[in-house]
Amino acid sequence: MKAAVLRQTRQPLSIEEVRIDKPRSREVLIRTAAVGLCHSDLHFIDGTYPAALPFIPGHEAAGIVEQVGPEVRTVKPGDHVITCLSVFCGHCEHCVTGHLSRCISGETKRATDDEPRLSHADKPVTQLLGLSAFAEQMLVHEHACVAVRRDMPLDRAALIGCAVMTGYGAVTHTSNVRPGDTVAVIGCGGIGLSVINGALIAGAGRIIAVDRLPGKLAMARAFGATDTIDASQGDAVAQVQELTAGGVHHSFEAIGLKATVEQAWRMLRRGGTANVIGMIPPGVNIELRGTDFLAEKRIQGSLMGSNRFTVDMPRLVDLYLQGRLHLDQMISQRIALAQINEGFAELQRGELARSVIVFDGVG
């Protein structure tokens, strides 16, 4: 199969022929239909987050099941599926207490002495995040995908696999936004827009979008923001506090920078909660004013929207088909696998919400 392989960090991906194995026991072979380009992939491509080279990135995908292993019970050939990097074992402490996204069990991977799922010239190729979706096929554990209704367009379904699940889940699961609550969102890329859309669905009373690009602020309005703040023009924290008479109930940081995390904290009212979604580079420390804790303010991380994706993603599909989840507007362009490096260059410039790779003849 053709796949986009990274052999050296900070270098372009190369399109290569990679061998993919047949599914064993609880594994599922999926024909990839579409995969989104996410900024999280860039963190691995540029080496900010380490991974064994060579590897195939990509984790925001949808496709059609081609084959299943003998012990698979959750999907069957022909099913349309969305994949998720929150692969779970189903029986560890995190799983049995309902925190599937926290599972770190190694049993969802092949053993080191087994034949690898992916290889090139008889040498292993690392399967990044258990998916490696920038490829014509994916071979994954059955708990890394969920079947969805077949009338859902697969290019839009792919977005649910990361950006939408992460943003919507941060609102509904991690921070439990209630009707009438005030919300601030820092960073209006794919995840930030999904936070805004999720806050709208949750009934938030005021949704304030913060970004530096006018185009993204315009998109934020279309996704449900009631107010927008250009962070390049003055103090964003002071503007949020002025709009809300002292601060918001919930803030969401969707960039992963020290400065914006600290802004998310300072935007809170008494009793408010700051949610850090962005991937902060390793070694970066965050500074918070200690006296703020006396006001019962909280700061917490959100991992993939604290999801239970096998339940959440089919519901998100329903929300899209009801017209309540805005996916069409999120896709800035559809490209071929061969254009992946150009797509990432545009992502780094920060001008687009989402580029989606679409594979010919699938879906």
pLDDT tens digit string along 41-79?
Answer: 999 999 999 999 999 999 999 999 999 999 999 999 999
Q: Does residue 363 have a pLDDT over 60?
A: no
What percent of the chain clears pLDDT 90, i.e. is strictly above it? Answer: 97
CA distance 46 to 33: 26
Based on the domain organization, do 9 and 133 belong to the same domain? yes
- Among 280, 301, 322, residue at a domain's last position: 301
Residue 154 lies in a domain: yes
Is 38 tagged catalytic? yes
Residue 169 lies in a domain: no
**Candidate list 39, 43, 141, 250, residue with the active-site label:** 43
Based on the domain organization, do 282 and 351 belong to the same domain? no
Residue 218 lies in a domain: yes
Element (H, E) at 119: strand 118-120
Cβ atoms of residues 357 and 134 within 8 Å: yes
- What ranges in the chain are assigned the alpha helix state H? 39-45, 93-96, 154-159, 165-169, 190-202, 214-223, 236-244, 258-266, 309-321, 340-349
Is 91 tagged catalytic? no
- What is the residue range of 240's domain? 176-301
CA distance 65 to 77: 5
Residue in the structure block whose two tokens are 């003849």: 361
Residue 24 lies in a domain: yes
Q: Which pair of structure tokens corresponds to residue 257?
A: 């920078």
Based on the domain organization, do 268 and 286 belong to the same domain? yes
pLDDT digits (tens, 9 = 90+) for 19-31: 999 999 999 999 9
Based on the domain organization, do 336 and 240 belong to the same domain? no
Pairing outcome for strands 137-141 and 126-127: unpaired
**Candidate list 59, 143, 249, 250, residue with the active-site label:** 59
Based on the domain organization, do 140 and 49 belong to the same domain? yes
Which is higher by pLDDT, 350 or 15?
15
Residue 294 lies in a domain: yes
pLDDT band at 360 (very low <50, low <70, confident <90, very high): confident
CA distance 84 to 32: 13
Which residue type does 280 have? Answer: I
CATH for 331: 3.90.180.10
Q: What is the mean pLDDT of the chain?
A: 97
Q: Which residues of 317-336 are buried (b: 16+ CB within 10 A; e: fewer)?
A: bebbeeeebbbeebbbeebe
Based on the domain organization, do 296 and 343 belong to the same domain? no
Residue 170 lies in a domain: no
Q: Output the pLDDT for position 349.
A: 87
What's the number of CA atoms in the CB half-sphere (13 Å) around residue 290?
A: 0
pLDDT digits (tens, 9 = 90+) for 115-126: 999 999 999 999
Query: 3-state DSSP call for residue 355?
Result: strand
Which whole number is the average pLDDT over 151-174? Answer: 98
Q: Does residue 92 have a pLDDT over 80?
A: yes
Q: Does residue 102 have a pLDDT over 90?
A: yes
- Among 262, 280, 301, residue at a domain's last position: 301
Residue 148 lies in a domain: yes
pTM across the whole model: 0.96
Residue 168 lies in a domain: no
Q: Which pair of structure tokens corresponds to residue 115?
A: 């034949």
- 233 burial class (0-12, 13-18, 19+ CB within 10 angstroms)? exposed
What's the number of CA atoms in the CB half-sphere (13 Å) around residue 5?
A: 19
Cα-flanking dihedrals φ and ψ of residue 344, to 5°? -70, -35
pLDDT digits (tens, 9 = 90+) for 165-190: 999 999 999 999 999 999 999 999 99
**Candidate list 40, 101, 132, 302, residue with the active-site label:** 40
Q: Output the pLDDT for position 353.
A: 83
Based on the domain organization, do 19 and 84 belong to the same domain? yes
Which whole number is the average pLDDT over 226-235? Answer: 97
Based on the domain organization, do 285 and 237 belong to the same domain? yes
Rounded to 5°, angle at Cα 42 from 36 and 47: 150
Q: Which residues of 177-207 are buried (b: 16+ CB within 10 A; e: fewer)?
A: beeebbbbbbbbbbbbbbbbbbbbbbebebb
Based on the domain organization, do 19 and 107 belong to the same domain? yes
Based on the domain organization, do 91 and 154 belong to the same domain? yes
- Count of domains observed in the chain: 2
**Candidate list 84, 103, 162, 188, residue with the active-site label:** 162
Query: What length does the chain have?
Result: 363
Based on the domain organization, do 37 and 52 belong to the same domain? yes
Is 40 tagged catalytic? yes
pLDDT digits (tens, 9 = 90+) for 233-280: 999 999 999 999 999 999 999 999 999 999 999 999 999 999 999 999
Based on the domain organization, do 138 and 181 belong to the same domain? no
CATH for 294: 3.40.50.720
Q: Does residue 210 have a pLDDT over 80?
A: yes
